[in-house]
């Protein structure tokens, strides 16, 4: 008998169908990878098993855990089940913990909800659970608050909470999507170890084929609320049947066709740049400390080149990006575009700023929802004032067309567009001043693989058409490999390795580069080619 | 935590100094001679000279400022020109009414607003929620003096449970004094409770949609328990801010209600001293109110730190 058995599960929310006849099985001690893009219903399947659905949700079909039906249980019975028999780990470790309670209290709470034992005993068991999640008490006392921990450490706390009572089933919903590659690798190893040790079943939800390819025993691929293909990992990946599964695989290994067009003339020159931040004073009248975020970084980006900058969160890559854009003062060194310094005294030079634009990660948060797309796209024109209205409208129409949208879209509001379309609009906004350099700061990280593949194609195409240069900042190594000519690896404010992309990826010199490459999840060799 | 308190204390002292300078300068910069303003246009020259000497206007400005501040630090607020009594005693008498009244109505506000706000948030979108929101909307909209007069008609004139106005005084015992403050306190609390209940509800709805509440539910907590144990404390920061502002308002802003109920409170004192151009009293009462506002803000910030560990560690 299976541990988790989902049969013909259908779900609708306020009458809108979300899931159609979903059937999945998971045995004890096994890992089931559920893969799909956003909106495929993978998270909703998990929330149905937990019965933590939004209001207006109606589920039909059968869900059994250890032979016991789930859907017909009362809410009180579900409360007794959640946390004890089913544990859950979420995507966003930064917000998944209560900021006002200590980690010890939060882990112990799981135990105290389900067992009548003294608080003290619960704390001892909480310490054990945290230790199993690799947060030993001597280094991470129970009295720590979430804000004193990094994202990866917080995710370990969430895992400790979920496994404290050794549940039969663990559901992990994109548990590593928000984490750096090396942290991701550690968390995935931890989850795999716990599954094997406790013999629990793990339902691992992710959009990343490579993540499950390495750890899952079985895989189910979902699209638009349906399971389109399911089976044992190895066999399934080697012989994908469904067109959607194939498209998904192709997209996740997609490299746009590019013809390197780098000229010898340097476009962007960054010379020995330093950036310090003051840190809070230790005592009321003590001198403030300082944090050296960028430590003497130098590099050149040539005209027409696509240069990658990889590194984990906190390595200084965002600070460097902001400094290049003139959004951040530097304390030492020089940044020049076409030989002209970015800074004129303390202010960025508008003439230089117009030649470079930026596209940020979050296609949802980087637009003012109350402005029409036309106005959003025309925003960079504040750098070239007194432009006639007609000229402005023509430029907007051109930019929208260039990114595959229509001029008519200028009259719409941003909420009418999907994530991928929004990122196209962000690129249109960057294109409108006809820049020579575009900084792409994690610009495709939040996108589904198929959308990401299309945006990468678009970027390659725009670069060829307009002779654009890119500085591509990302923590995603596979994307950087697909779109850049050269790559730089940044660690703790320094560039530790730089070179032609293929050379660095094939023959990394610096130990840190090797560590990064080893940690990145990979699809088995030969797949997708 | 110590650092947090020390920085807040430092800012409290600096705010007080800045406020005292500002108040002093406003009175100084008023066109014309303060003594002449107080006495009006028909003043006799010798009366004017006497008042100028009494107010110390013949001294340099810095000396007068220091004397004023120094006096206040010793509890000497000068002598009221219209009442011919020490301002300190005047303020003390009025505070004995206004402070208990403010505390009383704030207590009512919190006691009403918390359950109502929490109840509405827990039943978001239900008929009960809609009804509560409608009632609080009304509570904000109804002028409180009108509500006060309705209560006088009902409870004082028809039912004769309370007196229609006046203050019994604390020397007559606790109960009669509290009784004479009850109707004014209710009248003051009605709009404040409506505002606070709405703030409580929306703050709670914000935290209820946070990821950590979902985490708490995944551990096996029921909806109600997740609200109580996880959402509530997280929703307190905006609520505390509003409570602080409400207290400052209640202390001096009850002037209309004080007039409706003939209460000898601070609000009426300010009004009367301004009408009588008694600048010495005005200056001191305003300084006292500023002090109260700054002190309340300080206490609210301490409360933030108690609620939120991130503030304690200075981040």
pLDDT tens digits, one per residue of A480-494: 998 999 999 999 899
pLDDT tens column, A28-68: 999 999 998 888 899 999 999 999 988 889 999 999 999 99
What is the pLDDT, as a whole number, of residue A305?
Answer: 92
| Alpha-carbon gap, residue A240 to A253, rounded angstroms | 15
> Are B221 and A280 an interchain contact pair (Cβ–Cβ within 8 Å)?
no
Query: What is the count of structural domains for chain B?
Result: 1
> Are A79 and B220 an interchain contact pair (Cβ–Cβ within 8 Å)?
yes
- The band of A310, judged by pLDDT with boundaries at 50, 70 and 90, is very high
Residue B276 covered by a domain = yes
Cα Rg of chain A, angstroms: 25
Average pLDDT over residues B303-308: 89
What is the pLDDT, as a whole number, of residue B314?
Answer: 56
Residue B268 covered by a domain = yes
| Alpha-carbon gap, residue A478 to A254, rounded angstroms | 9
User: Which residue is closest to A165 within chain B, CA to CA?
Assistant: B219
CB A298 within 8 A of CB A270: yes
For residue B114, the enclosing domain spans 95-312
All residues at 6 or more sequence positions from A338 whose CB lies less than 8 Å from its CB, including other chains: A267, A352, A355, A436
Average pLDDT over residues A428-434: 88
pLDDT exceeds 80 at position A265: yes
pLDDT tens column, A460-469: 988 888 889 9
What is the pLDDT, as a whole number, of residue A251?
Answer: 87
> Are A158 and B215 an interchain contact pair (Cβ–Cβ within 8 Å)?
yes
Average pLDDT over residues B178-184: 88
* Strand arrangement, sheet containing A16-26: A16-26, A4-13, A57-65, A68-69
Homologous superfamily, domain A4-39+51-214+225-252: P-loop containing nucleotide triphosphate hydrolases (3.40.50.300)
Average pLDDT over residues B94-101: 90
What is the pLDDT, as a whole number, of residue B52?
Answer: 76
What is the pLDDT, as a whole number, of residue A273?
Answer: 92
- The band of A529, judged by pLDDT with boundaries at 50, 70 and 90, is very low
CB A33 within 8 A of CB A216: yes
- Answer whether B130 touches A (CB < 8 Å): no
Residue B201 covered by a domain = yes
Half-sphere exposure of A1 (CA within 13 A, CB side): 6
How far B164 CA lies from chain A's nearest CA (Å)?
Answer: 47
> Are B215 and A113 an interchain contact pair (Cβ–Cβ within 8 Å)?
no
The CATH number of whichever domain residue B256 belongs to comes to 1.10.3720.10
Residue B179 covered by a domain = yes
Instruction: Closest CB to B219: pick one of A100, A113, A145.
Output: A113
Residue B80 covered by a domain = no
pLDDT tens column, A467-481: 899 999 988 888 899
How far B263 CA lies from chain A's nearest CA (Å)?
Answer: 43
User: Which residue is closest to B210 within chain A, CA to CA?
Assistant: A95
Instruction: Closest CB to A79: pick one of B222, B309, B313.
Output: B222
Average pLDDT over residues A356-385: 82
Per-domain boundaries in chain A: 4-39+51-214+225-252
Residue A500 DSSP SS3:
strand
When mean pLDDT is compared over A132-141, A278-287, B81-90, the highest value belongs to A132-141
B230 CB neighbours in chain A (<8 A) are 98, 101
| Alpha-carbon gap, residue A234 to A220, rounded angstroms | 12
What is the pLDDT, as a whole number, of residue B315?
Answer: 46
User: Which residue is closest to A83 within chain B, CA to CA?
Assistant: B219
pLDDT tens column, B138-161: 999 988 888 888 888 888 888 888
> Are A87 and B3 an interchain contact pair (Cβ–Cβ within 8 Å)?
no
Residue A335 DSSP SS3:
strand
3 state SS for A393-444: HHHHHHHHHHCCCCHHHHHCEHHHCCHHHHHHHHHHHHHCCCCCEEEEECCC
Q: What percent of chain A has pLDDT over 90?
A: 50
Q: Identify from B4, B125, B218 which residue to disrupt to test chain A contact, counting A C-beta atoms within 10 A and taking the largest count.
A: B218
What is the pLDDT, as a whole number, of residue A466?
Answer: 86
- The band of A4, judged by pLDDT with boundaries at 50, 70 and 90, is very high
Phi–psi pair at A6, nearest 5 degrees? -105, 125
Instruction: Closest CB to B234: pick one of A88, A100, A284.
Output: A100
3 state SS for A380-396: HHHHCCCCCHHHHHHHH
- The band of A381, judged by pLDDT with boundaries at 50, 70 and 90, is confident
B229 CB neighbours in chain A (<8 A) are 109
What is the pLDDT, as a whole number, of residue B74?
Answer: 86
CA-to-CA dists, residue B114 to B108, B128, B241, angstroms: 10, 16, 14
Distance of CA A176 to the CA centre of its chain: 8
All residues at 6 or more sequence positions from A434 whose CB lies less than 8 Å from its CB, including other chains: A466
All residues at 6 or more sequence positions from A40 whose CB lies less than 8 Å from its CB, including other chains: A222, A223, A224, A225
Round the average pLDDT of chain B to a whole number and report it.
Answer: 87
Write b or e for each residue in A160-179: b if 16 or more Cβ atoms lie within 10 A of its Cβ, otherwise e: bbbbbbbbbbbbbbbbbbbb
| Alpha-carbon gap, residue B74 to B83, rounded angstroms | 21
| Alpha-carbon gap, residue B185 to B179, rounded angstroms | 10
CB A181 within 8 A of CB A152: no
Of residues A159, A178, A179, the one with CA closest to residue A170: A159
């Amino acid at each position: 008998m299976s541990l988790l058995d989902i049969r013909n599960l259908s779900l609708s929310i306020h009458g809108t169908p979300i899931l159609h006849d979903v059937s999945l099985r998971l045995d004890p001690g096994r890992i089931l990878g559920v893969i799909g893009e956003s909106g495929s219903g993978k998270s909703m399947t998990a929330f149905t098993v937990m019965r933590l659905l939004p209001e207006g949700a109606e589920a039909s079909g059968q869900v059994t855990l250890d032979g016991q039906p789930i859907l017909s249980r009362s809410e009180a019975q579900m409360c007794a089940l959640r946390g004890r028999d089913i544990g859950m780990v979420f995507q966003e470790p930064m917000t998944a913990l209560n900021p006002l309670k200590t980690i010890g209290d939060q882990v112990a709470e799981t135990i105290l909800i389900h067992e009548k034992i003294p608080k003290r005993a619960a704390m001892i068991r909480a310490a054990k659970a945290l230790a199993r999640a690799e947060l030993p008490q001597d280094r991470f006392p129970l009295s720590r608050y979430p804000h004193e921990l990094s994202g990866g450490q917080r995710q370990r706390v969430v895992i400790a909470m979920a496994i404290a009572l050794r549940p039969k089933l663990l559901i992990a919903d994109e548990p590593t999507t928000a984490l750096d590659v090396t942290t991701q690798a550690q968390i995935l190893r931890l989850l795999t170890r716990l599954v094997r040790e406790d013999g629990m079943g793990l339902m691992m939800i992710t959009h990343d084929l490579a993540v499950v390819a390495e750890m899952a025993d079985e895989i189910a691929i979902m699209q638009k609320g349906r399971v389109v293909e399911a089976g044992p990992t190895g066999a399934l990946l080697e012989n994908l049947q469904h067109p959607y599964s194939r498209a998904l695989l192709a997209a996740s290994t997609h490299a746009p066709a590019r013809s390197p067009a780098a000229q010898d003339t340097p476009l962007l020159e960054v010379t020995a740049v330093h950036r310090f931040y003051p840190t809070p004073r230790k005592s009321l009248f003590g001198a403030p400390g300082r944090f050296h975020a960028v430590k003497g970084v130098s590099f050149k980006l040539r005209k027409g080149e696509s240069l990658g900058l990889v590194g984990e969160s906190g390595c200084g890559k965002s600070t460097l990006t902001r400094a290049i854009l003139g959004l951040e003062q530097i304390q030492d060194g020089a940044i020049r575009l076409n030989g002209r310094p970015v800074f004129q005294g303390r202010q960025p030079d508008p003439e230089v700023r117009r030649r470079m634009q930026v596209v940020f990660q979050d296609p949802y948060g980087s637009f003012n929802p109350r402005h029409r797309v036309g106005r959003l796209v025309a925003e960079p024109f504040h750098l070239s004032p007194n432009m006639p209205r007609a000229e402005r409208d023509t430029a907007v129409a051109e930019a929208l067309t260039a990114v595959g949208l229509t001029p008519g879209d200028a009259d719409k509001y941003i909420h009418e567009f999907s994530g991928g379309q929004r990122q196209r609009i962000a690129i249109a906004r960057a294109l409108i001043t006809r820049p020579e350099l575009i900084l792409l700061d994690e610009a495709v990280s939040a996108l589904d693989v198929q959308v990401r593949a299309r945006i990468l194609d678009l970027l390659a195409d725009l670069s060829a058409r307009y002779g654009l240069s890119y500085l591509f900042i990302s923590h995603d190594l596979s994307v950087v490999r697909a779109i850049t000519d050269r790559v730089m690896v940044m660690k703790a404010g320094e560039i530790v390795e730089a070179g032609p992309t293929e050379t660095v990826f094939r023959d990394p010199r610096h130990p840190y580069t090797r560590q990064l490459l080893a940690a990145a999840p990979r699809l088995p060799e030969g797949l997708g080619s | 935590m110590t650092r947090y308190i020390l920085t807040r204390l430092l800012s409290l002292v600096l705010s007080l100094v800045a406020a005292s300078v500002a108040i002093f300068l406003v009175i100084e910069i008023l066109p014309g001679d303060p003594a002449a303003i107080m006495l009006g246009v028909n003043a006799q020259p010798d009366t004017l000279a006497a008042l100028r000497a009494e107010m110390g206007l013949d001294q340099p400005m810095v000396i007068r400022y220091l004397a004023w501040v120094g006096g206040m630090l010793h509890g000497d607020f000068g002598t009221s020109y219209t009442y011919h009594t020490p301002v300190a005693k005047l303020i003390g008498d009025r505070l004995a009414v206004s402070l208990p009244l403010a505390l009383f109505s704030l207590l009512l506000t919190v006691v009403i607003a918390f359950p109502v706000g929490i109840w509405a948030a827990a039943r978001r979108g239900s008929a009960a929620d809609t009804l509560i929101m409608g009632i609080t909307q009304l509570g904000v909209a109804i002028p409180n003096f009108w509500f006060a007069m309705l209560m006088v008609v009902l409870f004082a004139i028809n039912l004769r449970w309370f007196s229609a106005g006046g203050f019994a005084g604390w020397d007559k015992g606790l109960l009669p004094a509290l009784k004479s403050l009850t109707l004014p306190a209710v009248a003051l609390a009605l709009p404040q409770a409506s505002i606070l209940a709405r703030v409580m509800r929306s703050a709670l709805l914000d935290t209820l949609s946070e990821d950590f509440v979902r985490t708490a539910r995944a551990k096996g907590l029921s909806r109600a328990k997740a609200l109580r144990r996880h959402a509530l404390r997280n929703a307190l920061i905006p609520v505390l801010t509003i409570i602080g502002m409400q207290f400052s308002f209640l202390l001096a802003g009850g002037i209309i209600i004080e007039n409706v109920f003939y209460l000898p409170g601070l609000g009426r004192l300010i009004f009367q001293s301004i009408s009588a151009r008694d600048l010495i009293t005005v200056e001191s009462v305003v300084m006292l109110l500023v002090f109260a506002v700054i002190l309340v803000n300080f206490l609210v910030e301490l409360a933030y730190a108690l609620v939120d560990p991130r503030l304690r560690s200075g981040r």
